[in-house]
């Protein structure tokens, strides 16, 4: 998706729901094959992030991995969803994406298959965008914190770094809820 196509994304409007829905009622393909049934994440908070390998924000992978290393043993799940919706900044091949993430950032958290998160969003991403006090990703590395019950707790912008005090405080609160 080029810059013109990316610009057109911002003209699309997303209808919101009045009450939160259960975001764990979705399935999504995994980058290395198979399917992630998000119901298996129930009982733990999950940080869901749209990622891209060729973005100026790509170094956030390091911070996301650090969050997973720090809080994973306490139950935090991190799910990255590669997407080329914003200026085609994602590699095309699953093996290339996986290799890039592991080689450059040591990513061990869950990575989904490459999906659309805004242009023609995967159902999970459409549902994330419709939640009260939410919206679609505005760029790569938008972050959505989902509670243990599957309800959206908070949405963080692309520019919110993974080590920001606001994000880590929200994760800690979700882990102790």
- E strands present in the chain: 27-29, 35-37, 46-51, 77-82, 110-111, 143-146, 152-156
Q: At what angle do helices 60-71 and 165-175 cross, to 10 degrees?
A: 30
Annotated catalytic residue within 30, 55, 57, 175: 55
- E strands present in 16-104: 27-29, 35-37, 46-51, 77-82
Residue 15 backbone phi and psi in degrees, to 5: -75, 140
Give CA angle at 54 (62, 147), nearest 5°: 50
Strands 35-37 and 27-29: antiparallel
Is 101 tagged catalytic?
no
Q: Which residues pair with 79 in a beta bridge?
A: 48, 110
Contact between residue 115 and residue 30 where contact means Cβ atoms under 8 Å apart? no
Radius of gyration of the chain (CA): 15
CA–CA distance, 15 with 63 (Å, rounded to integer): 31
Supply the residues annotated as catalytic: 55
């Amino acid at each position: 998706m080029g810059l013109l196509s990316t610009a057109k994304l911002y003209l699309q409007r997303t209808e919101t729901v009045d009450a939160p829905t259960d975001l764990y009622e979705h399935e999504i393909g995994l980058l290395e094959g198979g399917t992630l049934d998000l119901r298996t994440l129930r009982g733990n908070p999950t940080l869901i992030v749209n990622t891209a390998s060729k973005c100026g924000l790509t170094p956030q992978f390091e911070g996301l991995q650090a969050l997973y290393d720090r809080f994973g043993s306490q139950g935090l799940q991190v799910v990255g969803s590669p997407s080329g919706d914003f200026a085609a900044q994602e590699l095309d091949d699953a093996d290339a994406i996986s290799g890039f993430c592991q080689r450059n950032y040591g990513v061990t958290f869950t990575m989904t298959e490459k999906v659309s998160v805004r242009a023609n969003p995967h159902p999970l991403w459409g549902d994330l965008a419709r939640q009260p006090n939410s919206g679609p990703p505005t760029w790569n590395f938008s972050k959505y914190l989902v509670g243990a019950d599957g309800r959206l707790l908070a949405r963080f912008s692309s520019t919110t770094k993974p080590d920001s005090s606001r994000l880590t405080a929200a994760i800690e609160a979700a882990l102790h809820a």
